[in-house]
Structure 1
């Protein structure tokens, strides 16, 4: 098999950064992609990965990604970039927030796949397998109050992944989806609540052991490390305290007699 070389988007923080770090620890080559150059440079100093500062909602930056990826010669794509904005009832949500979520989670994912799929196909010409892994959310399949825009965007992204898997039938490319539940990261809820730390912290208040970015990245890199012919099509990851997307136990988890 050829050397594993993966492009990781959303790599400046959270799950994307954790995947990039763990992938390098596994001995894989990584091209880490995100908007914030200074964070990528810190990641590069720590890990030695290759980096590209790019906004995946910008067509010019997508062209630069395609050029950088051609030199990198990827065997895999891990698409993490995305996010949520707002938690108001549907009738009170902002069209601008909806537009941002569809650009970040759906159109951005399509643009990245459009740019990298020819290169991934090229990597399989030596008989190897390639891979595309997309991070969606449990919000893609289970609606919850206050989640209308994010539910809609992640549902669309999931359908994109499912269709792509069907359309690549007969090719040695596995297409996999990872759908996390409650994950504490430094920025996800802050972005959603426009920097309101009190609201962001309340999401995780009294929840014992919400998932960390490292937890999710460990599962993702474990899957990526499986033999190339093994496709784990869909993986749902939740903390034990979250028994359903909208049922979260707050308080200590206790043993029963």
Structure 2
């Protein structure tokens, strides 16, 4: 039985853990190391886990002394990564792959902290993991074997989509697009609600319509991932949608704002690394 060790089981870590347990089943032993048994962990502990085993420990010293994890997933805050690795160094063996989901922490920094020459993978999932629909992108260090990449991909595909990058520096753009991206859509939804209320709809109706619209648009994109075609499909010549789009896209303002948002988020990711 292969052991997957998760360090940090907050909202993101807990969501990934639930997806792994549900999707990967037997053959894996999942250990969550987190000093706090938050709501996500409590829910998992209260549920039967068919075909696999799950353990929660509060401190590294509570781990089995003979532990040799196949994967160690670092889901702590970036500033806690070095200490987390130091606490786990004796458990990291040649076949262990270290997987970091902490924004801005490079493979070089992780390698320096580990001092073991272990394989290292950086992955940026997003908040969609909470509903089993994350978009994740990863970069693997040269020492990572194909079998290790396959296992990591299996982990993150169990909570959504997983894709690989050729260049580590592209992680900054991944952070800006998919990591931060859900917040952009939430902000646009908020703006639609505020505009509808300002034009006379009740808060309840405005909220229901705006949220329902964003949700259904996402489902359509999942079915047919061609936003240009979908936009054209819903836009009749000289109709209401055409008028609204003309205002939204006037003078390229919307495209510039979108570009500015992604550029600003990527720059901040670089600053934090």
> Scaled by the length of structure 2, what TM-score is found?
0.46
Which of the two has greater helix per residue? 2
Whose radius of gyration is greater, 1 or 2?
A: 2
TM-score with structure 1 length normalisation? 0.49
